[in-house]
Homo-oligomer: A and B are copies of this chain.
Amino acid sequence: MKSVKAFAPATVANVSCGFDILGFAIDAMGDYVEVFRKEEPGLKVISIEDDGGKLPWEVEKNTCAVAIQAMLDDYGQEIGMDIALKKGLPLGSGMGSSAASAVAALVAANRLLGDPYERKDLLPFAIVAEKAACGAGHADNVAPSLLGGFVLIRDYHPLDVIKLHVPDSLYCTLLHPHFQLNTSDSRSVLRDAIPLKHSTIQSGNVAGFVSGLYQEDYELISRSMRDVIAEPYRAVLIPGFYEVREALKAAGALGMGISGSGPTLFALSKGAEKSKEIAKAAEEIYQNIGLGVDVYYSAINTRGAYVLEENK
């Protein structure tokens, strides 16, 4: 039976100063989706592994199926597919878990059809799936998972997604502390209106961050990693936030922020060795805090999701 298996990477959205507009992809982890062509039309979820039994199997709710259905609706042909999802990412962690599932499903299904869609053209289908999974059609996880590297969502109407330059030596350390944080809580603490002054500070930092990426100026990247819009309100929901940041910066992190709406934290660093040292410092500080943590370090994924296997 014809089948395609694809991988889509974990992602960090917001990236401190890039609230709701920046995201990047991580080499180290992600989700796996295998799609099987079948005779009878219609989609079916045939297996879900490593989700702790939490993800829905119904095609109207499963993020993989919703994404593929959106693509097939556009494609205009009823094609039968069975879908097998293997989670590599923890759910609700702020690492773009639902986005990675949708993107892996789309990349696999697109290849199964003979790649009728360019990579960028899959994005709207992934956004449909994000809306089904999270209630909001954000693109700051799906776009970097699909395209790789650092991605700017300049605008949604119409969608304008820009791949930014990624310095070779930029590495990431991710810390996933063992506690639950609801996305809705994390969203509800934000203010609807902000001082003009804060908007100007945020603009200055995001412009500095983007400039730092292009200039490969790690010090500038570091100075620009400041979020005055979401972080001050969300940090209080994350135990030990400022203590952890201090420890990570002491270990050489360029900066640390909240991945998506948390609770996962991310740190950027120059060089692979430094990202390991930061990971070690993270384990130590969480031991002091008395909270379990999973720590990962990784290069930036610059190619995005990709096909792992094809069976003709």
Interface set of A (CB-CB < 8 Å, partner B):
17-22, 152-155, 160, 162, 164-165, 190-196, 198-211, 214, 220, 223-224, 229
What's the least CB distance linking A19 to chain B, in Å? 6
What's the least CB distance linking A154 to chain B, in Å? 4
Contacts A152-B208, A162-B208 supplied; 20 other A-B pairs, CB < 8 Å:
A17-B203, A21-B207, A152-B207, A153-B204, A154-B204, A154-B207, A154-B208, A154-B223, A155-B223, A162-B211, A162-B220, A165-B214, A192-B196, A193-B195, A196-B229, A202-B203, A203-B206, A206-B206, A210-B210, A211-B214
27 intermolecular pairs with C-beta atoms under 8 Å apart: A21-B204, A152-B204, A152-B207, A153-B204, A154-B204, A154-B208, A154-B220, A154-B223, A155-B223, A160-B223, A164-B211, A191-B196, A192-B195, A193-B195, A193-B196, A194-B194, A196-B229, A198-B199, A199-B199, A199-B203, A203-B203, A203-B206, A206-B206, A206-B207, A207-B210, A210-B210, A210-B211
Contact of A154 among B20, B21, B152, B205 (CB under 8 A): B205
Q: Quick one: copies of this chain in the complex?
A: 2
Residues of B within 8 A of A153 (CB): 204
CA distance A21 to B197 in the complex (A): 11
